[in-house]
Chain A
Amino acid sequence: MSGASPAPPAPEGLLTVTGQPIPLLGVHYAVTLHGLSVTATVSQRFRNAEPQPVEALLLFPLPEEAAIHGLTVRLGDRTLRGEIAEREEAFQQYDEALAGGHGAFLLDQERPNLFQLSVGSLLPGQEATVETRLTWTARPEGRGVRLLLPTSLSPRYTPAHATAEERAEIDRITPEYASRVPYGLTLELQAEFASPLRSVESPSHPLRVELAGQGARLSFSQGEVALDRDVVVRFELAEPYQPGLLAGSYQGRDYLLLQLFPELTPVGSKRAPRDVTFVVDCSGSMRGDSIDQARRAVELCLRSLDEGDRFQILAFGSTFRTLFPTSLVFGQQTLEQAVSAVRRLDADLGGTEILAPLQQLTRQAREGRHDVLVLTDGEVSNEAEVLALAGRGRGRCRFFSFGIGAGASEHLVRGLARNSGGEAEFIYPGERIEPKVLRQFARLDTPRIETAEVDWGIRGAEQSPTHLPPVFDRDALLVTARLPRGEQLPAGHIVTLVTKTPTGEQRFTAPVQRLADAEPLALLWARLRLRELEEAPEALGRRGSNQRRSKAPTEPPAVALAKEFQLMCQQTSFLAVEERDAAAQHPDAPVLRKVPLLPTAGWHGHGSVLAARLAAFAPPPSVAMSLCAPQPCPPPCCAPPSPRAPAPQLRKSRAAGTGTAAPGGLFGRVRSFFAEAGPDRLGEMDLAAPAPGWAASQEAPTASPPPGADTPWYLELLLLARADGSFPLADLLARQAGVPLAALQRRAGTMLAIAGADPAAVLATALALALLRSEAAAAEPVWQLAAAKAEAWLQRQGVQAPDGGEPVAWVLASLPSWRQDP
């Protein structure tokens, strides 16, 4: 992995608003994705351009599930290796090193996804590159994987009841913001999969993609981008992930990682009515792209409910209110009432007091099946309290959370779901909301599992996490284990997941694959174990950085484990000290330089990833497109130049107060054209050097206008569905079927309906099902809930086709002749 960041040196004299030079030159992310296993090195390059020593403080995010296992500092030709120490000890050594005239580097975990790097006493002219190594497991998503590299910290909301001490601690870990900064982000991403790749796309950045075998090498098209939005990359694979048991030896112990995608058998045909509350964050930070996405997501969920389900909507900000006096029973009238209320929701409720509404919900929830869908950008400073609450309500209230926007807090959003037995999804501006929302919704109906256990087949296997996370139909289940010393996994060994539901038992097994390098497995095992130790109820009293934790007489288990694996946690820090002899010491104490950050794009209506994208695509998409061109092309074609060199037209928009700090094309979805062409063209194209004129000739593969503008026909169709599941006979159906509406209305009369059924609705519903199955088969996960409702409605009508058969089959068979002879 390359050490020094390739970012060019900062222009001399670029200052913050307070007139201080910024000591950070650039950030570089080097990432390797191997299947689902991610290893990364984040390099931050500092330089002191002042005539006096400085102490630079940098707050930055890392993936909340990552094991942070290494810190290296490069000072010219010297290399320092950081060591893990107990948090307070590490600080004391850092403080003493600086007081003694030495250099020191301290990395603290302030929250599981928020880190502070203290670069102590950089001498005048001195440069230092700090490299942090981490590893984690990416989340599979359908037939692919989504990689999230957090880069942006949105301002956090501090609850009004916070004490002075809590405020003091929060202030210390609150970033300062600037509209321009002299540093940017570069990326080097190597991905390799067991399956051929179908496509690579990024809703966050234009990427340059080079195919290599069954993988790809990625970097930003512009070379360097602004750190004002998280990096999201989605890889779509030709074949789905397969279950597997990875095994390997690390420091004399065998570690195992079980990956399963269990298909759970449905329990009976009749499911219990749902009881769902939608909790929508309407705080000021949601202004902009985020509230739009939240409204759409709730409306889609509402339309997926069944008659007889109960629902309520709760909006919160500084205060909270429910939209209806009591929860409503779903039906056509309540659907219309709710949709109109949801469309009026706005981000106008002030602060983000998320604890109070969730407290009320968990208090009121009865034992059993109450599901809460939470939509938030998750920027609060009292995450620990919120997550503890979710854990206490487990068994009564499951939280299914959506992290919305370009910088949602992974820790809050994932933690809510993890602690309550739900699941989390993230919606980036411009990402398709529907599949994520509907995937969440389908989880609500996963057969209720009474017990789920992994049988490792070896005595003394230490499973991590000890308690299995919830198992949802076809979702990934990842569990690790460490075998006792001396035990090895025998060849042909079988590990089994056993799930018990009211209707019986299911077993899932996976073939063993032995790995040469088991370090990532060992680190993952230890990271999961650490989280359990830290999130145990007795540990939650000692909160992150809120208090100075007095040292216990015996070392807490989390600290011992973290030291053994050299891992960061709440109670440990990385420290590296640069010893300086008297001649190298500077007489002056270092002055503080807190590195300012760019605000997250879209935060508080601060710019908009989507609006900027529209601007970027002002010319017709077919002309404006550029796919992974080797050279960066000027805005608005593709985008964001680092704010260090804003394009002239963007400067103008900023002057008008409408631009973002890091505007530009903001949008970049890079969809490889082979995705459009189909898997058979895989490997034939070199994306880094597209054929001349290719991009312009394609049907907008990179252009992704905002949701709504290019909504696929089947989604528009779903938005027509009535509460009972039926469809009205509408233009859209006629257009899609290729038959005039009047002709369809005539045909409706020929269907043999029994008393009471509306022939037009019967034909429309049968036609909708026929079209979905024949022309939108690939999108089945998106429409399956609506289709199930429609089928149930048709059955209730007891309708027969004129040929005596099933109406959908009849419509499907008749369509070609209707088209020829309307």
Chain B
Amino acid sequence: MEGRLSIGELADLAGISRRTVRYYVQRELLPPPLGLGRGRHYDQSHLQALQRLLGLQQQGLSLEEIARHRDAPPPAPDPAGEAPPAEAGEPPGPPPAPEAPLAGEPYRRLRLLPGVELHLRPELHALSPEQLARLIAFVRSLLSQPR
């Protein structure tokens, strides 16, 4: 299904481990996965929420502080798993609540390989998770080829 992400794909797109995705869900910093049992999955709203969370961490906020500023929640997950790509322009991601001035959105920094990073703001290019995954896979395969 379009926009449907496994925990592994979500983790790879965000550049973190699957354990951390699960940890954030358990800490209620991320919405729980959609579906039940083996059908559980994530979608782009999870990715956006995760990117926002990582952005706040980059600014030095602790998870407790982030939890306190959670009163600007990301859009509710779309049951069809087809969250629309974020609008280009500022402010990116979910609109911050007026009392939450911390919600900046710096560049996303993705580790592709040891020594190779990609800095981008996916929302400015309306990149879907699939496009991003293809981009990452392309760079990885390019750099892994024997020269």
Contacts and interface: CB of A to CB of B under 8 A. Distances in A.
A547 interface: yes
B15 A545 contact: no
Contact of A96 (B26, B38, B58, B62): B38
A108 interface: yes
A455 interface: no
A545 B19 contact: yes
A165 B119 CA distance: 13
B5 interface: no
Interface stretch (B6-14, B72-80, B81-89, B92-100): B6-14
Contacts of B36: 99
B54 to A, nearest CB: 4
Interface stretch (A167-175, A229-237, A465-473): A167-175
Contacts of B62: 171
A91 B111 contact: no
Nearest to A96: B38
B17 A548 contact: yes
Contact of A95 (B12, B18, B20): B18
Contacts of B12: 548, 550
B119 to A, nearest CB: 10
Nearest to A163: B109
A172 B111 CA distance: 19
Contacts of B63: 171
Interface string A84-121: 00001001100110011000000010000000000000
A597 B27 CA distance: 18
Interface residues of B, number: 30
A778 interface: no
Interface string A545-564: 11110100000000000000
Interface in B1-58: 7-8, 11-12, 14-20, 22-23, 26-27, 32, 36-38, 40, 53-55, 57-58
Contacts of A550: 12
A542 B53 CA distance: 24
Nearest to B117: A163
B20 A172 contact: yes
Contact of B54 (A57, A95, A164, A546): A164
A92 B19 CA distance: 9
Contacts of A547: 15-17, 111
A173 to B, nearest CB: 9
Contacts of A546: 17
A165 B53 CA distance: 10
B54 A548 contact: no
A58 to B, nearest CB: 14
Interface string A534-548: 000000011001111
Contacts, number: 74
A165 B16 contact: yes
A522 B26 CA distance: 39
A743 interface: no
Contacts of B109: 163-165
A19 B114 CA distance: 42
Given A169-B16, A547-B111, A548-B8, A164 B55 contact: yes
B53 to A, nearest CB: 8
What's the interface size class on A, roughly? Answer: 20 to 34
Nearest to B51: A164
Interface in A579-637: 589, 591-592
B18 A91 contact: yes
A541 B36 CA distance: 36
Contacts of A589: 32
A168 B26 contact: no
B54 A165 contact: yes
A55 interface: yes
Contact of A164 (B11, B26, B37, B57): B57
B38 A164 contact: no
B37 A99 contact: yes
A95 B22 contact: yes
Residue from A55, A171, A591 with most neighbouring chain B CB atoms (10 Å): A171
Interface in A139-193: 163-165, 167-169, 171-172
Interface-central residue, B26, B53, B58, by most chain A CB under 10 Å? B26
B58 A167 contact: yes
Contacts of B54: 164-165, 167-168
A244 B36 CA distance: 60
B18 A548 contact: yes
Most chain B CB atoms below 10 A, which of A95, A541, A545: A95
Nearest to B36: A99
A387 to B, nearest CB: 16
Contacts of A108: 19
Nearest to A95: B22
**Which of B17, B22, B63 has the most A CB atoms < 10 Å from its CB?**
B17
A388 to B, nearest CB: 11
B17 A592 contact: no
A545 B17 CA distance: 7
Interface string B93-127: 00000000000000001010010000000000000
Contacts of A164: 54-55, 57-58, 109
Contact of A165 (B14, B23, B26, B27): B14
A591 B23 CA distance: 11
Contact of B37 (A100, A168, A548): A100
A95 B54 CA distance: 23
Contacts of B114: 541-542
A165 B38 contact: no
Interface string B51-71: 001110110001100000000
A721 to B, nearest CB: 49
Given A55-B26, A95-B7, A592-B26, A167 B57 contact: yes
Q: 4 tightest CB-CB pairs across the interface, nearest first?
A: A541-B114, A592-B26, A164-B58, A164-B54
Interface of B: 7-8, 11-12, 14-20, 22-23, 26-27, 32, 36-38, 40, 53-55, 57-58, 62-63, 109, 111, 114
10 contacts: A88-B18, A95-B18, A96-B38, A108-B19, A164-B54, A541-B114, A542-B114, A545-B17, A547-B111, A548-B8
